[in-house]
Structure 1
Amino acid sequence: MNKTTTKLENNLIKALTLACEEFKRWDMGFDWLTHTVSHNRFPDSLVVTCVFLSKAQMQQVLSDSLDARMRKEIQTRLLKAGIRPKDIRRNVRMDNEEDCAAQDSGNWAARLERFRG
């Protein structure tokens, strides 16, 4: 990675870490988040995956429209870091540990690669 890409990645990680810590305070079954990105197609290729402990918890977040609130929080953090996604709905997805275990034998690397932007 060149200096510009390294700085961008560091800013991205800082912004997402702040969002992650905020989500953990919401007490909704959120567990962790991660991202994938192709820096030569940034920010369009950015995919942030928010992971919940169970499918039921994820479904509850979706039915309560908390996913929209989560996307807004991520977007706000990214904007503060100078990162401007075109459509945050395309950049953030929800997932859960149960589906990863059932569909990908718990292999998050393989699962994230399938949903890569």
Structure 2
Amino acid sequence: MNRSTDTSPQAEERLVTSLTRACELAKLEIPGFLWLTHEGDRNLSPGNLHVVWIFDTQASLAHALETGLGKRMYELTAQAFTEAAIAVRAAEAHVSFDTEEACQRHNNGNWQARLSMLRLSH
């Protein structure tokens, strides 16, 4: 399925609004989930768009994934992309998970450094 993607400045605003809504829902539904962030190029090219879901601890993240809540996070991400008119084939390819615990341990709490490191691994 080849759908076009809106790359206008309004698309970024719609994406932020949609991801904020997804984040607020997830905070209510998913124990240990804290926040999310997204990264991508200025044109919101689907190939460069990535959403990172952040949990408090590795144990909370593992529990969420073991109990099927990963599927819910993929659904919320896909819904946000759709609302922002960003066409992706599979939201799962644009999602990763991390924890405050790991950032503190490996990056002294510096999320900018951690996200840069994660960006290199994609």
What TM-score do the two structures reach when normalised by structure 1?
A: 0.88
User: Please, which runs of 5 or more residues in structure 1 have no aligned partner?
Assistant: none
CA gap 1:75/1:41 in 2 versus in 1, 3 angstroms: closer
Give 1:76's match in structure 2, choosing from 69, 79, 85.
79
In 2, Cα distance between equivalents of 1:70 and 1:41: 20
Ranges of 4+ aligned residues in structure 1 off by more than 6 Å: none
In 1, Cα distance between equivalents of 2:96 and 2:60: 14
Q: How far 1:115 sits from its partner (Å)? A: 1.9
In 2, Cα distance between equivalents of 1:38 and 1:81: 15
- Correspondence for 1:64: 67
In 2, Cα distance between equivalents of 1:74 and 1:57: 19
User: Please, which runs of 5 or more residues in structure 2 have no aligned partner?
Assistant: 1-6
Taking only aligned residues, the RMSD between alpha carbons, in angstroms, comes to: 1.6
In 2, Cα distance between equivalents of 1:111 and 1:84: 27
What TM-score do the two structures reach when normalised by structure 2?
A: 0.85
Asked if the contact 1:39/1:45 (under 8 Å) is kept, the reply is: no
CA gap 1:112/1:7 in 2 versus in 1, 3 angstroms: same
- Correspondence for 2:100: 97
Aligned residues: percent identity?
A: 34
In 1, Cα distance between equivalents of 2:64 and 2:34: 13
Aligned residues, how many? Answer: 114
Question: Aligned partner of 1:83: which letter?
Answer: I
Report the 3-state secondary structure (helix = DSSP H, G, I; strand = E; otherwise coil) of the residue aligned with 1:35. Answer: strand
1:14 correspondence with 2:51:
no
Asked if the contact 1:5/1:39 (under 8 Å) is kept, the reply is: no
Report the 3-state secondary structure (helix = DSSP H, G, I; strand = E; otherwise coil) of the residue aligned with 2:34. Answer: strand
- Correspondence for 2:118: 115
1:46 correspondence with 2:52:
no
In 2, Cα distance between equivalents of 1:41 and 1:79: 13
Deviations 1:74-102 (CA, angstroms, capped at 9, x unpaired): 10122122112222111111111000111
